[in-house]
Amino acid sequence: MVVNKMVDRVVIHNAALRWPVPGELLELLPGQRVSSVGRRSKYLLFNFERGTLIIHLGMTGHLRLTSHDAARRKHDHVEIIFSDGTALRYNDSRRFGAMLWAAADPLQHRRLTGLGPEPFSPGFNATYLHRISRGRKVAVKPFLMDPRVVVGVGNIYASEALFRAGIAPTRPVGQVGKAALGRLVKSVRDILEAAIAAGGTTLRNFSDSQGRPGYFRQELCVYGRTGEACLVCSAPIKQLRLGQRSTYFCPNCQR
C-alpha cells in the first residue's frame, strides 16, 4: 500500500518506455504524498497532491514495493523512493508500458480521453454496441478489442468471449444482431469475472503483484487449442490471424 507515503526521490534508469518517461517527475514527485490510487481501463492512477502519475504495465510490466536498498533486478526502469525507506519499482522487460504525468484531471489526459466504457459499467450494453457498430465492416473480434469500443478486452479474452457468445470472430460487426451483441456483453463480463477470480491468465511469464501465476489458462475453451476438440461439439478448433492477432474459434459453434 503506497497511500500516504511521501516521495523522497525518483530514479529513472531507462526512460524508453512506450513514450519517454517524463523527466519532470524527478522534480515534481519529491515532497509529494500519494493521496489515493485509482484505475481507468488498464491505466493505474497514482493521485498525488499536485497531479497524477499514470502507469500502464503493457504486456510485461510489474510494480514491486521493496526496500529502497534491495538489489535492482534486470529491467527495473524506474524507482520511486519513499521517505520511509521503501521503493516502488517499475519493471518491464518488453517496455510496452508507460509512465505519464497529468497535472490536472487524469481522465482528460490525451491517452485516456476517447476510451470506451468499462466492461462492467452499465454503459457497456447491447444497445450501445448495436448503435456504434451499424454500418461497420470490421470483424467483430478486432472491434471488441478496440479500447474506444470497450476497455479491458485483450486478445485471449476476445476469442473466449466470442466462443461463449457463439459468434464467429470474422463476422463483420455491422451484421451482428442486437441479441447476439447482448450475449457478447454477457460473455465478456463472465469471462473477465472468471479470469479475475482465477488470478488472470499465465501464458508464459505473467504473474500478479505477489509473483503468483494466473490459473485461468486451464479454463480457456478455444485460445491456444488449435486442432484440439471443441469442448462443446468436438469439432477441431481453428486458428487464423485477424488484425495481426492469433484468433481461435470453433467453426461449428460460432456462426
List contacts with DNA (CB under 7 A): 16, 18, 41-43, 56, 58-60, 74-75, 93-96, 111, 135-139, 142, 145, 147, 151, 154-156, 174, 203-205, 223, 243-246
**Least Cβ distance, residue 8 to DNA (angstroms):** 29
With respect to DNA, which residue has the nearer C-beta, 61 or 81? 61
With respect to DNA, which residue has the nearer C-beta, 201 or 254? 201
**Least Cβ distance, residue 72 to DNA (angstroms):** 14
**Least Cβ distance, residue 195 to DNA (angstroms):** 11
With respect to DNA, which residue has the nearer C-beta, 7 or 119? 119
**Least Cβ distance, residue 32 to DNA (angstroms):** 26
Residue 247 φ then ψ, to 5°: -130, 130
Residue 7: which residues within 8 A CB-CB, separation 6 or more? Answer: 29, 30, 31, 32, 33, 34, 48, 80, 81, 82, 83
With respect to DNA, which residue has the nearer C-beta, 69 or 227? 227
Distance CA(151)–CA(128), nearest Å, equals: 14
Residue 62: which residues within 8 A CB-CB, separation 6 or more? Answer: 90, 91, 92, 207, 209
User: Which triple of cell numbers denotes residue 173?
Assistant: 460487426
